[in-house]
Chain A
Amino acid sequence: MQTVQAIDRALPILHSGPGCAQKLSDTNGSSGYFSPNIFPCTSINEKDVVFGGVKKLNSTIDNALKVIDADLYVVLTGCIPEIVGDDSGEVVSRFEDADKPVIYAPTAGFKGNNYKGHEQVVDAIVEQYLKKSDKKQKGLINIWADVPYQDLFWLGNLRALEKLVAELGLTPNTIFGYNRGIENINKIPEAEFNLLVSPWVGLGNVKKMERKFGTPYLHYPTLPIGATETSKFLREVGKFAGVDEAKVEAVIKEHEDYYYYLIGRYADLFLENRVINKQFTVVADAQYSLGITKFLVNDLGLIPAKQFVVDDTPKNYRDQITEEFKKLNFGIEAEVSFETDGYKIHSEIKEHDYHGYPLVLGGYYEKEVTESLKGNFLNISWPVQDKVVFDRSYVGYEGGIRLIEDIYTVAVSRFN
């Protein structure tokens, strides 16, 4: 649902029991033209389970097309129709000739979490709506990153990635957020290549697009935060896209000069032993765990304690990601644990010796345990309760500076 909502003027139609969408309206940016409270829903009950909910789904889709003005209608199935075996695909296919496109994704709750659901919605768009295109636009790059709304910084992150790519002289294309709805979706098959900036979410999607449209992809697993990683990112993208090396280096130099100027101004704070934490732990999804670990080690010189990835990464991707955590400067290797049990995570944090106060970046659930250890805590992953984020980002050179500001604001406010 979040993925569909993030696409401008796309509407999810829910085939589920009542109240499914209620979980999404928790005042973290999900209000707007289509807020979760107005998603059409078949609200099926026992009667529909026994006698079949297909008729209700048909009329819900039909009426949604008449009443709500959207560009794309995505039917999402909840748990109940999947248990019963309703053939939603068949109902949706009856709307093939409607004025507006109607597609569907089988997203029953018990089949997976919203990371998987995100991939399924993108798959549905690729398989059911998009058609192969013969014309390819040179320099047009589709950018795919993490799950909108689940990742609180999704909007800022996407825009920052777009800006970076644009500076290389390429044309970025994304489908989430303001002013990028169905028009940008239509451009997807014409892109020169797909750029996936994420450890594993979306990998299935770009592979599928390679098969269907013949579009190659570049998989860049680490979210670029801070200078070290962003420069690496620009060099790799530039190389893959065939951008002139001199141009890439010029862009990098301009940014790095300013970045290190800013860092130089606060160098005395970073080297001050009482304020700085020595070891850190990140408790987040794979994207932030990896990106922030690399940033803190490579750019700020902190030592990683154990890191936790809480997005229930599919087993076949775990080895690759564990390897990525080992590629840090100075031969440092970070240990990572794929754990979804909060209790176990908190126990490990409590047992570990941080050689001082721990620095924990995680979800709001980690705040209490960090405070009990007198550590510094920054809320960066779901659930985010103590900050409001519109289009801020931690991506890129500026994003790295923002993250440093946030971490040290916490540290400094403790000691003063």
Chain B
Amino acid sequence: MAYYIAIGSSDGINTDLKFGEVEKFLIYKVEGTDYELYEKREVADADGFAAKCGDKNGCSGSGHGCGGGEEVAAKVTAIEDCRAVVCKKIGFQAQKQFEKRAISVFDIETTITDALDKIAGYYNKIDNNRSLRS
């Protein structure tokens, strides 16, 4: 059964964007251990936050959160159909929203192929009741 993973990336090679910075999520469709780029999905724009904040160091630095729950919630619902989300950093508020929708959160900066290989491999094993030790 196929599922989707949303990735925050500026160059299509690394997961180098923080959740708050992402304007366009790269949605990958995963089947077993194979994956392909499915869609580039635009979400609510991010530059409203910086202007409101003024001071980026105040909050956890993930670039969102003080804007209030609405922007974060909107972004989360935009990728609600995904099983997991991968960004360089994902703030606490967003993590909670994802948890409520049973979406796994991976805040890690690495290459997209590395992330997808590992995540797809992991889901593949647990979906087929195989041991994670290998």
Q: Chain A: residues with CB nearer than 8 A to chain B?
A: 46-47, 49-51, 83-85
Q: Which of the listed residues A49, A50, A83 has the most CB atoms from chain B within 10 Å of its own CB?
A: A50
B119: chain A residues at CB < 8 Å are 50
Q: Chain B: residues with CB nearer than 8 A to chain A?
A: 104-108, 110, 115, 118-119, 122, 131-134
Assess whether A51 is in contact with B106, with CB atoms less than 8 Å apart.
yes
B110: chain A residues at CB < 8 Å are 51
CB distance from A65 to the nearest CB of B (A): 25
B105: chain A residues at CB < 8 Å are 47
- Where chain B touches its partner, the secondary structure class is mixed
Contact of B106 among A47, A83, A84 (CB under 8 A): A47
Assess whether A83 is in contact with B108, with CB atoms less than 8 Å apart.
no
Q: List the 10 closest A-B pairs by CB distance, nearest first.
A: A85-B133, A50-B122, A47-B106, A84-B132, A50-B118, A50-B119, A83-B132, A46-B104, A51-B118, A51-B108
Q: Report the bound CA distance from A113 to B73 in whole Å.
A: 44
CB distance from B105 to the nearest CB of A (A): 7
Contact of B134 among A49, A51, A85 (CB under 8 A): A85
A83: chain B residues at CB < 8 Å are 131-133
Contact of A49 among B108, B115, B122, B131 (CB under 8 A): B122
A51: chain B residues at CB < 8 Å are 106, 108, 110, 115, 118
CB distance from A185 to the nearest CB of B (A): 33
Q: Report the bound CA distance from A218 to B133 in whole Å.
A: 41
The residue in chain B whose Cβ has the minimal distance to the Cβ of A46 is B104
Assess whether A50 is in contact with B106, with CB atoms less than 8 Å apart.
yes
In the complex, given contacts A50-B106, A51-B110, A51-B118, what are 19 additional A-B residue pairs having Cβ atoms less than 8 angstroms apart?
Answer: A46-B106, A47-B105, A47-B106, A47-B107, A47-B108, A49-B122, A49-B132, A50-B118, A50-B119, A50-B122, A51-B106, A51-B108, A51-B115, A83-B132, A83-B133, A84-B133, A85-B132, A85-B133, A85-B134
A50: chain B residues at CB < 8 Å are 106, 118-119, 122
B104: chain A residues at CB < 8 Å are 46
Q: Report the bound CA distance from A46 to B98 in whole Å.
A: 14
B108: chain A residues at CB < 8 Å are 47, 51
Q: Which of the listed residues A51, A83, A84 has the most CB atoms from chain B within 10 Å of its own CB?
A: A51
Q: Report the bound CA distance from A153 to B127 in whole Å.
A: 47
The residue in chain B whose Cβ has the minimal distance to the Cβ of A50 is B122
The residue in chain A whose Cβ has the minimal distance to the Cβ of B121 is A50
Q: Report the bound CA distance from A103 to B43 in whole Å.
A: 49
B106: chain A residues at CB < 8 Å are 46-47, 50-51
Q: Report the bound CA distance from A50 to B132 in whole Å.
A: 9
The residue in chain A whose Cβ has the minimal distance to the Cβ of B107 is A47
A85: chain B residues at CB < 8 Å are 132-134
B132: chain A residues at CB < 8 Å are 49, 83-85
Q: Report the bound CA distance from A50 to B133 in whole Å.
A: 11
Q: Report the bound CA distance from A50 to B120 in whole Å.
A: 9
The residue in chain B whose Cβ has the minimal distance to the Cβ of A45 is B105
Q: Report the bound CA distance from A52 to B4 in whole Å.
A: 22
CB distance from B82 to the nearest CB of A (A): 15
CB distance from A416 to the nearest CB of B (A): 59
Q: Report the bound CA distance from A50 to B108 in whole Å.
A: 11
Q: Enumerate 13 A-B pairs (CB-CB under 8 Å) in ascending A order.
A: A46-B106, A47-B107, A49-B132, A50-B122, A51-B106, A51-B108, A51-B110, A51-B115, A83-B131, A83-B132, A84-B132, A85-B132, A85-B133
CB distance from B15 to the nearest CB of A (A): 11
The residue in chain B whose Cβ has the minimal distance to the Cβ of A83 is B132
CB distance from A49 to the nearest CB of B (A): 7
Q: Report the bound CA distance from A36 to B110 in whole Å.
A: 35
The residue in chain A whose Cβ has the minimal distance to the Cβ of B114 is A51
CB distance from A51 to the nearest CB of B (A): 6
CB distance from B62 to the nearest CB of A (A): 15
A46: chain B residues at CB < 8 Å are 104, 106
The residue in chain A whose Cβ has the minimal distance to the Cβ of B110 is A51
CB distance from B39 to the nearest CB of A (A): 23
CB distance from B43 to the nearest CB of A (A): 22
Q: Report the bound CA distance from A166 to B15 in whole Å.
A: 66
Q: Report the bound CA distance from A50 to B83 in whole Å.
A: 14
The residue in chain A whose Cβ has the minimal distance to the Cβ of B131 is A83
Q: Report the bound CA distance from A50 to B118 in whole Å.
A: 6
Q: Report the bound CA distance from A51 to B133 in whole Å.
A: 13
Q: Report the bound CA distance from A49 to B107 in whole Å.
A: 13
Q: Which of the listed residues A47, A49, A83, A85 has the most CB atoms from chain B within 10 Å of its own CB?
A: A47
Q: Report the bound CA distance from A49 to B122 in whole Å.
A: 8
B122: chain A residues at CB < 8 Å are 49-50
CB distance from A113 to the nearest CB of B (A): 22
